[in-house]
Structure 1
Amino acid sequence: MTAFVIAIVITIIAAWLIIKNFQPQTVLLLAGLSLLTITAVFYPENSILYGKATSTGSTWLDIFTFAKDSLSTQIAGIGLIIMAAGGFASYMDHIKASNAMVNVCIRPLQIIKAPYVILAVGYICAQLLHVAISSAAGLAMMLLVTFFPVLVRLGVSKAAAAAMIGLCAFMDLGPAVGTANLAAKHAGMEAAVYFAHYQMPVAVAVMLVVSVLIFFTAKYYDKKEGHVMTSQTADDTTPQGEDSEKVPGLYAFLPVFPVILVLVFSPLVISTIKIDVVTAMIAGTMLAFVCELFVKRDFRGCCKGVQVFFKGMGGMFTSVVSLLVCADIYAQGMQKIGAVDYLLEMVQNAGFGFASMTVVMTLLVGITAVLTGSGVAAFFSFSGMAPAIATKFGESAVHMILPMQLMAGMGRSISPVAGIIIAVSKAGECSPFMIVRRTLIPALGGMLTMLLANYLLF
């Protein structure tokens, strides 16, 4: 009981500091090291070694060695996947391939003359684009440049268009997304299998519900705010300037090439050949390099451009992988001190089943994502506990980890402090709270659908 109370107090302090905009990596690292230190001092019977690591001979050095072991383990595994995906996304932005793909996907929507229908269908297209464009903020920025003017010229309000784009990464889908890769790792399966067999069946139901709610919510708020729908031509929506550089239509295929490789060369299609996400990202980058070389015929410039890939990897280490490592240390600290075991025992004695515990863990992730504005931070903070909890109940970890992982993006979409919400609010010429008011109903509908679909399907 005492260990559980200590862990809760440390967690509350860490959560408060993160909400107050203290650096989450440092906060989670300090919280994890504090839990390990308290375990070593007051509960010496509990091991503070990372996995199957051996002791240095000093308990105090073991605490810091724990951090080193976490760093080496995460970087060699899921961290490398996240960095490779981030580097590939940066290179796709650099050569304008992401813009080309967005333009190809939204062009058919301009034929439809019903603005709010386009708004609803546009969400589904944007959500599917997120499978290839792993960065939620990057996808939103591209949609603001390309699709936002189309929607406004067709007659919807700027706030409605901005709110829909704020929901473009409502679910983090696909083998290129960091949280999905971590979820697949915890679930003990390949990212492609996790995406096709578990994410997509739930995602289809969620996308349909969210798109319908976007349609009615946008019409309601536009009418309530006195917006007068005036349709203009949807032509010539591509902005002028440096970002309007024309690229071959073939470039639209490049962002999805690694995703296709991962899905095809997996147990889903061709089981005799296996390709991992990092290999697919490197192959995709090299294909893009060859295309750039063929189009621009500037070997020096194209070689320099590939450096964006490595800079993108470094940026992902700084922002995401470091958070993953610190969150892992915190989650492991919670387990080492015995807080997770006590919580499970308490829940089981209270009559909570696996389904109820799944809802509790999912809500914890969602609330954290809303408060911090980061779906990555929310999921990474709690995901490490899911396999242990599922094992205690004798259930498959994927049934708990899936709703937790999807909820991370969902909570971000209704957070007024999330970067993507703040960005689209500027385009919508309104406050982040006004955007959240419009995304709230579709988001809540999507959350309930996700939990129900996960329960019924699996």
Structure 2
Amino acid sequence: MIGVIFSLIVTIVIVRILLKKFKAQFVLFLGGLILLAGAVVMDLLGLLPNGAQILPKGVSSTGFIGFDLVKCITSIMSSRTAGIGLLIMSAAGYSRYMSLIGASAIMADYLSRPLRLLKSPYLVLSLSYVVGAFADLFIPSASGLAMLLMVTLYPVLVRLGNSPLSAAALIATVSCLDMGPTSGAANYAAQVAGMDTMTYFIDYQIPVGIAVGITIAVLHYFTQKYFDKKDGAEAWKVEGDVKTADSVDTKNAPVWYGLLPTIPLVLLIVFNPFVIASVKLDVPTAMFISFIIAIVCELCRKNAKEVLNTGMEFFLMMGKQFATVITLIVAGELFAKGLMATGTIDTLIEGTKNLGLPAYAIMIVMTAFISVATVVMGSGNAPFFAFAPLVPGFAEQFGVSTTLLLIPMQLSTGIARCMSPITACVVAVAGCSGLSPFALVRRTAIPVIGALLMLIVMTIVFN
């Protein structure tokens, strides 16, 4: 019990520091090291019946416990960089390169064009979410996709009769379903679940995601219509300069460049056990193949020096992802390792079993916790990466599928993020449209809450 009390105190302190906007990586690293050091002390005092397991399984000790604490970090970082790290970095690098050569802009522009043929304002608004969610599979940057849609789709929605608040609220939520092989969180969740990315995407994310996506689209129709009527002229007021335009910067790229962002997903869909089982293609390989194809396309249009200089951004973005996302994953795992070392997780599992709560109740509690943390912090990565490593242990103890707990935890972070006035995407859309972030989340709250409820229901149905 002393381990639980100690872990609770450390966790509360860590959360308070995170809320003050300190860098999550350093905060979680610190929390993990404190928990591990505390576990060592408790073990020496005979307070841990099962001892303190500091290092991951299969990692040998340095011979000195102080060095072992640091080796725990390096061993986790080594395994993650070679696996999930390369996957996330290559996906982000390709997405960045697509943006630089104008391919992402062309794709967003052409996806939004069919909507201009419709004349019903709120029907177009609702269908716009579907278009945005589809584009999110190929343009995984929430802020980046939102800015593209602010240029291509926002003016169309406003001209058709939707208020600036309605149009901006819709665009702020288009990337809430964090799905597909280009998503860092989805790839990490697949690895935690012990399956390849495409299996996780096709078998688990798509069935749940379709139902949740339809729910969001429908709720936007009624929510924005209701608020536009209720707010009247207030819904049309904006502050400052609205920075949207009627044309998007395509870098003078040809129209067919809009197909380039789809190449990785097409390759992964074709070369996997569901279609062509004889050829096995992983995400990093698909990203690098697609990058080579894009480079060749660029070399046919521009001089080699310019193309290769731009191509370096692929690798620079990979480095940026290591500094931001991979280190956060490692820090989260270290913190989770600390919770396990102190015996906290085992105690919580046993306590929950004694309460007689069903696995679904555990899933709902964990999803609610992750969602609240996401809204408060403005980011779902820190809470998800910190607690995702604990999921397999919970699932094993309760005799349920890992995905029962993992799917709602992973998807809820992207959904709940759209209800936070301090998340990057909401702030970016608010600034671009001359609106208040708090006014925006007032419009996104109902679709987000409805999506979270549908997420829980569909997870139970499919598991």
TM-score of the alignment, normalized to the shorter chain, above 0.5: yes
Relative to 1, partners in 2 of residues 1:229 and 1:371: Cα closer, same or farther, differing over 3 Å?
A: closer
Q: Which residue of 2 aligns with 1:19?
A: 19
- 1:239 equivalenced with 2:247 (yes/no): yes
- Residue correspondence of structure 1 range 247-326 to structure 2 within 5 A: 247-296=253-302, 298-326=303-331
**SS in structure 2 opposite 1:43?**
helix
Deviations 1:9-35 (A, max 9, x none): 111111111111111110000000000
Instruction: Give, in whole Å, the separation in 2 of the partners of 1:72 and 1:418.
Output: 30
- Residue correspondence of structure 1 range 367-378 to structure 2 within 5 A: 367-378=372-383
Q: Which residue of 2 aligns with 1:355?
A: 360
Q: CA deviation at 1:237?
A: 6.1
Question: Given that residues 390 and 397 in structure 1 are in contact (C-alpha distance below 8 angstroms), is that contact kept between their aligned partners in structure 2?
Answer: yes
Q: In structure 1, what residue type is equivalent to 2:300?
A: F
**SS in structure 2 opposite 1:132?**
coil
Q: In structure 2, what residue type is equivalent to 1:84?
A: S
Deviations 1:120-168 (A, max 9, x none): 1000110111111111111111111211111112221111111111101
Question: Given that residues 156 and 229 in structure 1 are in contact (C-alpha distance below 8 angstroms), is that contact kept between their aligned partners in structure 2?
Answer: no
Q: Which residue of 1 aligns with 2:201?
A: 195
Instruction: Give, in whole Å, the separation in 1 of the partners of 2:462 and 2:55.
Output: 38
Q: Which of these residues, 45, 58, 65, is aligned with residue 59 of structure 1?
A: 65
**SS in structure 1 opposite 2:320?**
helix
Relative to 1, partners in 2 of residues 1:389 and 1:371: Cα closer, same or farther, differing over 3 Å?
A: same
Deviations 1:94-125 (A, max 9, x none): 00110011111111111001111111100011
Q: In structure 2, what residue type is equivalent to 1:328?
A: E
Q: Which of these residues, 432, 443, 446, is aligned with residue 437 of structure 2?
A: 432
- Cα RMSD between the aligned structures? 1.5
Q: CA deviation at 1:320?
A: 1.0
Question: Given that residues 263 and 269 in structure 1 are in contact (C-alpha distance below 8 angstroms), is that contact kept between their aligned partners in structure 2?
Answer: yes
Question: Given that residues 362 and 403 in structure 1 are in contact (C-alpha distance below 8 angstroms), is that contact kept between their aligned partners in structure 2?
Answer: yes
Instruction: Give, in whole Å, the separation in 2 of the partners of 1:106 and 1:272.
Output: 37
- Residue correspondence of structure 1 range 35-54 to structure 2 within 5 A: 35-44=35-44, 45-54=51-60
Instruction: Give, in whole Å, the separation in 1 of the partners of 2:121 and 2:319.
Output: 41
**SS in structure 2 opposite 1:226?**
helix
Instruction: Give, in whole Å, the separation in 1 of the partners of 2:299 and 2:160.
Output: 38
Q: Which residue of 1 aligns with 2:241?
A: none
Q: Which of these residues, 328, 333, 354, is aligned with residue 333 of structure 2?
A: 328
Q: TM-score, normalised by structure 2?
A: 0.95
Deviations 1:171-212 (A, max 9, x none): 101011001001111111110011111001011111111111
Instruction: Give, in whole Å, the separation in 2 of the partners of 1:396 and 1:93.
Output: 38
- 1:31 equivalenced with 2:37 (yes/no): no
Relative to 1, partners in 2 of residues 1:384 and 1:229: Cα closer, same or farther, differing over 3 Å?
A: closer
Question: Given that residues 101 and 252 in structure 1 are in contact (C-alpha distance below 8 angstroms), is that contact kept between their aligned partners in structure 2?
Answer: yes
Mean Cα deviation higher: 20-29 or 425-434: 425-434
Q: CA deviation at 1:238?
A: 3.6
Q: Which residue of 2 aligns with 1:147?
A: 153
Q: Which of these residues, 174, 178, 186, is aligned with residue 180 of structure 2?
A: 174
Deviations 1:240-267 (A, max 9, x none): 7xx3533211111111110111121111
Q: TM-score, normalised by structure 1?
A: 0.96
Task: Name the count of aligned residue pairs.
Answer: 450
Q: Which residue of 2 aligns with 1:407?
A: 412
- Ranges in structure 2 where 5+ consecutive residues have no aligned partner: 45-50, 237-243
Q: In structure 2, what residue type is equivalent to 1:198?
A: Y
Relative to 1, partners in 2 of residues 1:427 and 1:157: Cα closer, same or farther, differing over 3 Å?
A: farther
Instruction: Give, in whole Å, the separation in 1 of the partners of 2:355 and 2:258.
Output: 54
Question: Given that residues 155 and 229 in structure 1 are in contact (C-alpha distance below 8 angstroms), is that contact kept between their aligned partners in structure 2?
Answer: no
Q: Which residue of 1 aligns with 2:47?
A: none
Q: Which residue of 2 aligns with 1:127?
A: 133
Instruction: Give, in whole Å, the separation in 1 of the partners of 2:253 and 2:120.
Output: 30
Deviations 1:278-322 (A, max 9, x none): 0011111111111111122x1111111110101111111111111
Mean Cα deviation higher: 142-151 or 206-215: 142-151
**SS in structure 1 opposite 2:162?**
coil
Instruction: Give, in whole Å, the separation in 2 of the partners of 1:410 and 1:138.
Output: 17
Give identity over the alignment, percent.
38
Q: Which of these residues, 169, 188, 191, is aligned with residue 163 of structure 1?
A: 169
Instruction: Give, in whole Å, the separation in 2 of the partners of 1:35 and 1:56.
Output: 19
Question: Given that residues 186 and 387 in structure 1 are in contact (C-alpha distance below 8 angstroms), is that contact kept between their aligned partners in structure 2?
Answer: yes
Instruction: Give, in whole Å, the separation in 2 of the partners of 1:295 and 1:224.
Output: 52
Instruction: Give, in whole Å, the separation in 2 of the partners of 1:200 and 1:419.
Output: 26
Question: Given that residues 26 and 331 in structure 2 are in contact (C-alpha distance below 8 angstroms), is that contact kept between their aligned partners in structure 1?
Answer: yes
Q: Which residue of 2 aligns with 1:117?
A: 123
Question: Given that residues 168 and 440 in structure 2 are in contact (C-alpha distance below 8 angstroms), is that contact kept between their aligned partners in structure 1?
Answer: yes
Q: In structure 1, what residue type is equivalent to 2:343?
A: G
